[in-house]
Chains A and B, each alone.
Chain A
Amino acid sequence: MANTYRPVQWNRQKKIYDKLLWAGILLSLVSFAAFELIFAPGVTIETLLIRATAFTAIILLHIILLIGPLSRLDKRFLPLLYNRRHMGVSMFILAAVHGIVSMVQFHALGDTNPLVSVFTANQNYREISEFPFQILGFGALSILFVMAATSHDFWLKNLSPRIWKLLHMLVYVAYALLIGHIALGTLQYEDHLFYKVLLIGGFLLISGLHLYTGWLSSWGLGLQAGSAAEAGYHRVAHVAEIPENRAKMVFVEGENIAVFKYDGKLSAVNNVCRHQLGPLGEGQIIDGCITCPWHSYQYLPGNGQSPPPYEEKLPTYQLRLVGDEVWVNPTPFPAGTAVAPLSYPS
């Protein structure tokens, strides 16, 4: 919630998350270096650094891209989603070390400016085996730099959530560039099956999971469209289908709505957190407040307002009971409008 900026809003979970994250990163770097030294004992320290950071960074990028769809499929993955931006910045640091050491190693020893050399040292665009793959890596690193540089809440607020989200969706462009960077670079001279399986398997896993979760979402929409509408209301669920202190999420007429059940009552708010557009409906009611699963931003279910002194507000919606079913009117009330919670017979 809005407050004076700090470098990191630390809490116990974030500290544990970061410790585990960096323990994993160090384990990956050391393991990769050990394997390289065993199977390629003549490798130089610079090459070792370039390869180990590249390997760890690409593994982390895969994990980052998998967290979203996995947490939609199974809530047990949600803890990974929490503080994902620290994972992103850590991945950028590794990628930057890889890029800088590579530029020093391969482009800084001549008379040409290293930056210019990256683009001009090899201009053989017609040969796949000779393609200047470094340019693709440079493009990906530039995108990751912009994302890491704007990862703080300050940027979310000052660029606006819509632009910020758009900017950070560029991670998929960076991923595509990195697929090309690896396929046209390392895979052209590394004959290990391991690298090929990692790249192709990783791509299939990421794209497959994204397509599957997208299909599940559209399937839900299709079912809903088939339901009978009543006075502009749309069916959400049977009351018993919504777990206590949890929500049912629905997309109706372009509105992303979360219907929460708590203390014998039901309330509907917009499903998108004002902080980083997190899915509020995947969170729960804690201390009487809807709590975002991403960064614990809180809102009162009855009016969509963050508790004082915070100022964030969500649009709210009118609910109606039809038998034992909850129905919602998708026309939103202005953000922060109080709507009397709907009581349901126990």
Chain B
Amino acid sequence: MEAIIVTISKVLVAYLLVGLVFSVYFLSKGIFKVDKDSKGSSWLTRLLFLPGTLIFWPLFLDRLLKGDSSESLKK
């Protein structure tokens, strides 16, 4: 049981660390490519998106790789 928990916690920490590295790029540059309303937003505002980006970073990575934005997805 303990071995499973340890493994899961390591995978979780690794996932969040990758998310953290991705977030540095995403919240400083990538976000403007996927959401036009983020243009002109302050650093403080984008910092608020950090916790959520740590969780949902694969979604934004996928959109950046495909060149999608939330606007184009809506259409």
Contacts and interface: CB of A to CB of B under 8 A. Distances in A.
Interface centre among A2, A145, A155, A158 (most CB of B within 10 A): A158
Nearest to B71: A157
Contact of A113 (B6, B38, B73): B6
Interface residues of A, number: 24
Contacts, number: 64
Contacts of B44: 7
A295 B35 CA distance: 21
Interface string B20-39: 00000000000000110111
A4 B37 contact: yes
B19 to A, nearest CB: 12
Contacts of A155: 49, 52
A16 interface: no
A152 B37 CA distance: 13
Interface string A130-155: 00000000000000011011101011
Interface string B46-75: 101101101110011000000000100110
A149 B55 contact: yes
Interface string A9-37: 00000000000000000000000000000
Contacts of B9: 113, 115-116
B52 A5 contact: no
A343 interface: no
Name B's interface SS.
helix
A150 B2 CA distance: 31
Contacts of B45: 5-7
Interface in A102-126: 113, 115-116, 119-120, 123
A4 B9 CA distance: 37
Nearest to A146: B55
Contact of A154 (B38, B54, B59, B74): B38
Nearest to A123: B1
B52 A150 contact: yes
B48 A145 contact: no
A4 B40 CA distance: 6
Contacts of A44: none
A149 B1 contact: no
20 contacts: A3-B37, A4-B40, A5-B46, A6-B42, A6-B45, A7-B48, A115-B9, A116-B2, A116-B5, A119-B5, A120-B2, A123-B1, A145-B51, A146-B55, A150-B52, A150-B56, A152-B48, A152-B49, A157-B35, A158-B60
List the 6 closest pairs (A to B, CB-CB), nearest first: A149-B51, A149-B52, A5-B41, A4-B40, A119-B5, A158-B70
Given A5-B45, A120-B2, A158-B59, 10 more contacts: A7-B44, A116-B9, A119-B5, A149-B54, A154-B35, A154-B49, A157-B35, A157-B37, A159-B56, A160-B74
